Structures are given as C-alpha cells and as structure tokens.
Amino acid sequence: MARLIDIQDVTMLPAKLSIRLGDILSFSATGGRVCSSSEASSLAKADVVRLLGAFSQGVVGPAGEIVSPAGPPSSVLFLASSVGAASIEVMTGDPWHHVRTTVLDVTVEP
C-alpha cells in the first residue's frame, strides 16, 4: 500500500530519503519543485518524483462552506511516480521575507 508521508520539518530529515513507488511526500512548506530526476533503468530524464502542488489547508464549515486561512500555501505534495532517483527543492519560512530552500535527493524503490 502506498503511504502518505507527513514531514513537518524538512530541515530535520536524515541525509538519505528512500521511498516507495506510489508514496506521497507531504511537507509542511510553502513551495517546492523537482530539480532533476532519472529513471533507474535508462537514466533518462523522467518524472520519478512529481510535484502535485502547493496547497492551503481547509476545513468544512457547518453549511458546507470551505474555510481556508489567510497566508501562503502550507503544504507541498510530491508523488513518487516511477522508480529512480530525483532531486527536489522544498521551500519553507516566509515567502515574502525569508525563504529557506532545502534540497533533497530522493530514491524511489519498487
């Protein structure tokens, strides 16, 4: 079964991050991007890890309305979409003032 992996503080991660195909990485972060990725079999550039997007959280109110906080996105999701290696950047902090960018090398296993 694929896993939803919640990462509160990307700067505290161990040096090596190995996940499985289908896993989703959910960072508490304001932004992110995939820098490079290559499939294990061919070394061809591919979407080994795919950025699903940057999201604000939301709750459902009593009348069914969706309520979100004011502020930048607070979660960034990546999907492990094929076996291989990828390098990703995760942005935390304040997008308007102090941006902290953390680069991670991620290995996706079968």
Partner 1 sequence: MTKRTKTTDVSMMVADLDVDNTNEERGYRESEKLLGTEGQYQGQPAQAAVGCAIKQLPARLLFRSAEIAARINPVNAPVVGMSRAVPEGVLPTPLAAAVVTAKYWGPSSRKLTVSFMDRPSAELRRRILGHLNAWASAGCIEFVETSRAGQVRISRGGGGYWSYLGTDILLIPKNRPTMNLEGFTMNTPESEYTRVIRHEAGHTLGMPHEHMRKELVDRIDPEKAYEYFLRTQGWDRQTVDQQVLTSLDEATLMFTPADQDSIMCYQLPGSITKDGQPIRGGIEINSTDYAFIARIYPKPQFAGEKAVERSLAYEDDWSKDEDVQEIDA
What Å distances lie between residue 19 and 79, 89, 97, CA to CA? 10, 16, 32
For partner 1, give the closer residue by CB, 1 or 28: 28
Least separation in angstroms between residue 84's CB and partner 1 is 14
Indicate whether 48 belongs to the interface with partner 1 (CB under 8 A). Answer: no
Name residue, tokens 């390098």: 87
First to last CA, the chain: 12
Contact 26, 75 (CB under 8 A): yes
Least separation in angstroms between residue 52's CB and partner 1 is 11
Residues in contact with partner 1 by the rule CB under 8 A: 7-11, 13, 15-17, 27-33, 51, 53-54, 56-57, 59, 61-62, 67-76, 89, 91-105
